[in-house]
């Protein structure tokens, strides 16, 4: 079959081989659409395409604070997923369900907002139901918060550069640290959101304790990551970790507030 002249569906060049010499497109083979071949290809992709790299990346991200950043900055990049890919993947998961769940846990659900005076008054002016307006605001707030969150990662990298200005590191090196820390933070918040959603069905009330545990865990993670990556003594590490953690919390509050503010304005 490879000797038959065919036209490339991708660039319309004529060729006889298995692959188009102009663009590399593979010759169409009906066998590839067989069910067995199709699912076999999926299994192959799952088991061979960076599967070990994916597992190693997320295991080390969770259980080895700062390891991804330390290895990446040391030039050992091949065994991990790129920091920006890690961040985008985890943030997509977070904003898919966790952001809304945690907003509800904090009293910022669409149901809660629909009873607020400014939402009720705005709904009257727009001649819509308060609940419908509140749901629209919540949906837009999540999208705006997602965009603003990435900006906050950039700001976090700048703040780290200020904190560790004597380290002589480039801004991108601090940014890599921020990308990895925010990725862990999103994973931890997603786990917290799952607990909240579970408790809404089971009736258990351990969410407040879990939320406190999250802040302790996030701070300890940041402390250990800074210690590994920046190599300071214990006192210097603790001071900078406290300052950075306060900055991260302020950023989180600011991003959520701006997300809701912009969503309210454009709703």
Please state the three-class secondary structure of the chain as a single string: CCCCCEECCCCCCEECCCECCCCCCECCCHHHHCHHHHHHHHHHHHHHCCHHHHHHHHHHHHHCCCHHHHHHHCCCCCCCCCHHHHHHHHHHHHHHHHHHHHHHHCCCCHHHHCCCHHHHHHHHHHCCCHHHHHHHHHHHHHHHHHHHHHHHHHHHHHHHHHHCHHHCCCHHHHHHHHHHHHHHHHHHHHHHHHHHHHHHHHCCCCHHHHHHHHHHHHHHHHHHHHHHHHCCCHHHHHHHHHHHHHHHHHHHHHHHHHHHHHHHHHC
Residue 56 lies in a domain: no
pLDDT at position 189: 92
Q: Which residues of the chain have pLDDT under 50?
A: 1-2, 45
Residue 54 lies in a domain: no
Q: Are residues 154 and 205 in the same domain?
A: yes
Q: Are residues 242 and 129 in the same domain?
A: yes
- Structure tokens belonging to residue 177: 């640290």
pLDDT at position 43: 59
Q: Are residues 13 and 131 in the same domain?
A: no
Residue 25 lies in a domain: yes
pLDDT at position 1: 46
Whole-angstrom Cα distance, residue 14 to residue 7? Answer: 5
pLDDT at position 260: 83
Whole-angstrom Cα distance, residue 229 to residue 67? Answer: 8
Q: Are residues 235 and 105 in the same domain?
A: yes
Structurally, the chain folds into a number of domains equal to: 2
Q: Are residues 26 and 113 in the same domain?
A: no
The string of pLDDT tens digits covering residues 160-185 is 999 999 888 999 999 999 999 999 99
pLDDT at position 206: 74
Residue 176 lies in a domain: yes
Q: Are residues 106 and 154 in the same domain?
A: yes
Q: Are residues 16 and 87 in the same domain?
A: no
Residue 53 lies in a domain: no
Structural domain of residue 152, as residue ranges?
65-266
Whole-angstrom Cα distance, residue 232 to residue 123? Answer: 54
Residue 59 lies in a domain: no
Residue 51 lies in a domain: no
Residue 57 lies in a domain: no
Q: Are residues 19 and 85 in the same domain?
A: no
The residue to which tokens 């089971």 are assigned: 202
Residues 6+ apart with CB under 8 A from 76: none
Q: Are residues 133 and 196 in the same domain?
A: yes
Q: Are residues 137 and 173 in the same domain?
A: yes
pTM here is 0.76
């Amino acid at each position: 079959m490879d000797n038959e002249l065919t036209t490339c569906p991708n660039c319309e060049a004529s060729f006889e081989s298995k692959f188009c010499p102009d663009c590399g497109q593979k010759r169409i083979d009906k066998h590839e659409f067989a069910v067995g071949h199709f699912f076999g290809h999926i299994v192959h992709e799952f088991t061979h395409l960076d599967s070990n790299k994916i597992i190693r990346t997320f295991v080390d991200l969770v259980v080895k604070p700062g390891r991804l950043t330390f290895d990446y900055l040391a030039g050992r990049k091949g065994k991990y997923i790129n920091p920006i890919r890690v961040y985008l993947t985890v943030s997509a998961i977070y904003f898919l369900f966790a952001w809304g769940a945690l907003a509800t846990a904090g009293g910022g659900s669409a149901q809660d907002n629909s009873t607020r005076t400014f939402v009720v008054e705005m709904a009257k002016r727009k001649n819509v139901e308060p609940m419908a307006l509140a749901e629209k605001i919540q949906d837009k707030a999540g999208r705006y918060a997602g965009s603003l969150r990435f900006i906050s990662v950039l700001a976090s990298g700048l703040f780290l550069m200020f904190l560790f200005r004597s380290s002589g590191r480039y801004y991108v090196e601090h940014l890599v640290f921020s990308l990895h820390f925010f990725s862990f933070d999103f994973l931890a918040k997603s786990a917290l959101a799952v607990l909240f959603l579970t408790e809404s069905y089971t009736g258990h009330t351990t969410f407040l304790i879990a939320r406190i545990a999250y802040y302790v865990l996030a701070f300890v993670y940041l402390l250990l990551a800074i210690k590994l990556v920046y190599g300071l003594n214990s006192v210097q590490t603790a001071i900078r970790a406290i300052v950075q953690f306060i900055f991260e919390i302020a950023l989180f509050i600011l991003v959520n507030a701006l997300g809701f503010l912009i969503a309210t304005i454009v709703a």
